[in-house]
Amino acid sequence: MKCALIGEKLGHSFSKEIHEALGKYEYEHIELTPDEVEPFISKREFNGLNITIPYKQSVMPLLDEISETAREIGAVNTIVNRNGRLIGYNTDYGGMKLLIERTGINLSGKKVFIAGTGGTSSTAAKICQNLGASEVVIASRSGRNGALRYEDSYRMHGDAALLINTTPAGMHPDTDSVPIMLDCFTQAEGVVDVIYNPMQTRLIREAREKGIRAENGLYMLVAQAVLASKLFTGESTDEIETVAATKAEAAAETKTAAERNTVAATAVPTEEIQKTIEGIYKELIKKKRSIVLTGMPRSGKSTLGKMLAEKLGRELVETDEEIVAEAGMPIAQIFSKYGEEHFRDIESRIIKKVSQRSGLVISTGGGAVLRKENVDSLRMNGIIVFLDRSLEKLLPSRSRPLADTAEKIRRLYEERLPIYIKTADVRVKIEGTEEQSLERIMGVLE
């Protein structure tokens, strides 16, 4: 069985890893230009396809049959070749539904704001309507095709309870972009961002800083892939069946498409499907999430970073080494020749660049967390682990101008300890042998 993902740019996609984790068929990524899509599909040399931006709507005229859900939404993300007939489905419906439910928000009688007007936006709108939202507002920069312009929607619909981003704003490599102005929504209870690379977009970070529940698109990606796999293998022939286990008689009694969508929107996933989704999702998080080590100079970041990288089979990146390589001189010389501010500027550039990647062990300099922009960058794809070595165990180093005497180390420790604690996701006490410290780090990463 040959299956694949087709789209215009797929360098950011995790789909191949997800489908290979299912272990049921060969799967590859195929990048196509708009002119190449029709000839590729017309050859029918595949068993199943997933479709992503920007072809979810343009593939529809090329198919022999389209499911009712996909037709109503106006987008296809899954194509199955059944004995030469191409049938289009929309498993994004089930994936998006499960993602929205992860926020824990009951949408009944509440307003939803959706940024973007593509196929994913249509899917989100349909789900929210079926889940009982009182109003679904769709906005875009241009305001075309019936959407509101952002500035108008902010003014008129600041009472939305759930905000959903279906645009590429904030996606790698444009990670500084934010599609929704959160300050305009005074009653927001949750944020859903369909972007999964980076794992924490700027929108997600800002929402969590405000205490708003926020979910990225990785869970949706995994869920829709698992649902698509059921169609590829013939375990299901209807995307509503892949969304949830409902009694056969209940499904048979629903006469209209609207009734069938309501069944799909309110049903509970089968235990087997839910278990598969959760398992792949958790493993993917572990694999893709970088481990960022912070702490005082001589706290063990380099040594433990090397040990951790070796144990996990990951690449180690030491930001201080990257700074030295870029500057062409030791850190002490950078300080003496150009000053600390120049050093910090180089450090921020290096951290931003490194943080775009995933699955690394990153050992940072002692002052890396002093700038919020660095912490934001490191959180995009990483978990920040503060290595807390006691003051009496921190020794001076001639290579560190700010920590080359015991007195300087004491002052730094007192100044920075609250910052290390505040910016860390987890705190690990560094004491005993290196092996014991490594074991404690591994323990908090489980």
- E strands present in 321-421: 361-363, 382-388
- C-alpha span between 299 and 400 (Å, rounded): 13
**Helix 340-355 and helix 331-338: axis angle, to 10°?**
130
Choosing from 9, 56, 255, 393, the catalytic residue is: 56
d(C-alpha 419, C-alpha 404), whole Å = 21
How long, in residues, is the chain?
Answer: 446
Which tokens in the block code for residue 163?
Answer: 């905000």
**Catalytic residue flag (residue 282):** no
Give which of 102, 130, 89, 127 is closest to 241, Cα–Cα. 89
Nearest to 387 by CA among 360, 427, 415: 427
Would you say 405 and 439 are in contact if contact means Cβ atoms under 8 Å apart? no
Q: Which of 66, 57, 12, 6 is nearest to 33 (CA)?
A: 6
How far apart are alpha carbons 320 and 350 in whole angstroms? 9
**Under a CB-based contact definition with an 8 Å cutoff, are residues 148 and 137 in contact?**
yes
Per DSSP, what are the bridge partners of residue 10? Answer: none
Q: What helix, strand, coil percent values describe the chain, rounded to 5?
A: 50, 15, 35
Rounded distance, CA 380 to CA 197, Å?
Answer: 8
Rounded to 5 degrees, φ, ψ at 277 are -60, -50
Residues 218-250, buried b or exposed e (16+ Cβ, 10 A)? bbbbbbbbbbbbbbbbeebebbbbbbbebeeee
d(CA 66, CA 239): 11
Among 133, 135, 123, smallest CA distance to 98 is for 123
Is the CA virtual torsion 77, 99, 150, 161 positive or negative?
Answer: positive
Structure tokens at 90: 């929309």
Catalytically active residues are: 56
